[in-house]
């Protein structure tokens, strides 16, 4: 393992999902990215150690839980995520399953908001939208409705920033 280089703090990021190299959605917030392995307690009686009959308590790797990523954005008329979720609900074997999640920020000194650079990229393997949620719709209110998507996958790989 090599020593880490200087830390680059990510500021004002945007999040983009790409499928087959094409951007399909942009988000203002990644509220969570969870990858978890259960810890199982292992208890053994030590018969050959310095204190025969001593009890050893350890934790060992357990079941791997499917990773999840939750993203949020303003609700709009784009139906790409809804169509992907619909295809999953129909058990369509041709529904996209691998995607990239790119974390981008504006380039230093950029005057154009579209002048961005990748700072992180994640490959989500066997990913699909498990849940779509819209909140904040209220008749007569001028507030922004929020669309939340939760992606579940088999594995998340951290890739170089140019992903």
Tokens of 147: 């669309």
Q: Are 138 and 51 in contact (CB under 8 A)?
A: no
CB burial string 45-61: b at 16+ within 10 A, e below: eeeeeeeeeeeeeeeee
pTM over 0.85: no
What would the mean pLDDT of 32-49 be, rounded to a whole number?
Answer: 86
Strand 29-46, strand 128-135: pairing: unpaired
What is the distance between the alpha carbons of residues 131 and 118, in angstroms, rounded to a whole number?
Answer: 26
> Helices in 8-115 by DSSP H: which ranges?
80-89
**What are 72-119's pLDDT values in tens digits?**
998 888 888 999 999 999 999 888 888 888 887 766 666 665 667 777
């Amino acid at each position: 393992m090599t020593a880490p280089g200087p830390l680059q703090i990510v500021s004002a990021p945007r999040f983009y999902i790409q499928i087959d190299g094409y951007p399909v959605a942009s988000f203002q917030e990644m509220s969570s990215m969870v990858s978890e392995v259960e810890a199982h307690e292992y208890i053994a009686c030590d018969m050959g150690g310095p204190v025969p009959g001593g009890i050893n308590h350890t934790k060992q790797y357990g079941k791997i839980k499917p990773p999840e990523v939750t993203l949020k954005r303003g609700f709009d008329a784009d139906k790409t995520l809804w169509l992907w979720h619909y295809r999953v609900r129909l058990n369509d074997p041709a529904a996209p399953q691998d995607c990239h999640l790119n974390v981008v920020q504006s380039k230093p000194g950029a005057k154009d908001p579209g002048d961005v650079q990748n700072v992180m990229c994640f490959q989500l393997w066997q990913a699909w939208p498990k849940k779509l949620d819209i909140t904040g719709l209220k008749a007569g209110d001028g507030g922004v409705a929020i669309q939340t998507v939760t992606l579940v996958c088999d594995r998340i790989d951290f890739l170089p920033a140019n992903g």
